[in-house]
Amino acid sequence: MDNHNSLENILFIDIETSGSSKSFLDLTIEMKALWTHKANRLRRFDETLQQLPDEEIYLLKSAIYSEFAQIICISCAYFKSNGEKSLILKIKSFYGCPEDEMIQSFFNMVEDAFQSDRFRFYCGHNIREFDLPFICRRALINGLRIPAFMDYKNKRPWQVNNIIDTLEMWRFGDYKSYSSLELLCNIFKIDSPKSDMDGSSMHIAYWYGQKIEKIKRYCENDVKATAELYIKLSSSDFKSLRIEMISQGS
């Protein structure tokens, strides 16, 4: 990862999620009981949740858990050379359609790009523990086949060599704490995508605000910030590059 060309082999990914139902009351009887069990476990570890009913915890936390959630946007970004010291960051988002169609369209792009060696690595912030497993679990729930380039089940961490995680890069092997993308953007003077939204507000924004276009822009800014953070954490050869962002829509 220490030359100009290697940047063009990386596909940056970010997803946004919400609960799969608008409210706890919209769940089936079986899923209500299962969410209550989940909520009780959450209360044990988070004192701020202890006085909240299951319905409110669902609004706050359901988007985090793939069994109770859905993907509402996938944004991908990649660098394209635009001169010796200039790069274009192209961004493509999948959103505004049923979840199975969204994931399948994303998978089609991934298969074409990785089979042709256009990309060799996925990169994201906490992508190893959140984004990629979440996509794969939701794919199985939707009855979709996971591409070989993303099927990591039953693999040990050292057997997976096509993931670059900016959280892991920042940790330098120290796994005692978590550093958010927002925090690292602030430290490295990168424009934060968290100005008027964050992941915890996605469920409300999607189900109650109908703000899918705003969510899409937020997701694209997230993936742009991740790409810029990767450059900050990488070789100094990258730091003088001028980056232009182009959104390709869906």
Domains of the chain are 4-14+77-247 (3.30.420.10), 21-67 (no CATH)
pLDDT for res 249: 55
Residue 177 near residue 165 (C-beta atoms within 8 A): no
> What is the pLDDT at residue 175?
83
How far out from the chain centre does Cα 100 lie? 17
Mean pLDDT of the chain: 89
For residue 248, the model assigns a pLDDT of 63
Show pLDDT as tens, one digit a residue, over the chain (250 residues).
Answer: 444 458 889 999 999 999 999 999 999 999 999 999 999 999 999 999 999 999 999 999 999 999 999 999 999 999 987 766 677 899 999 999 999 999 999 999 999 988 888 899 999 999 999 999 999 999 999 999 999 889 888 888 778 889 999 999 999 988 888 999 999 999 999 987 666 676 678 999 999 998 999 999 999 999 999 999 999 998 655 555 556 666 665 5
Tell me, what's the pLDDT at 210?
83
The confidence score (pLDDT) of residue 3 equals 44
Q: What is the pLDDT of residue 237?
A: 58
- 23/60 Cα distance (integer angstroms): 11
pLDDT (0 to 100) of residue 87: 78
pLDDT in tens, 192-238: 766 667 667 899 999 999 899 999 999 999 999 999 999 999 865 55
CA dist 47 and 105 (Å) reads: 40
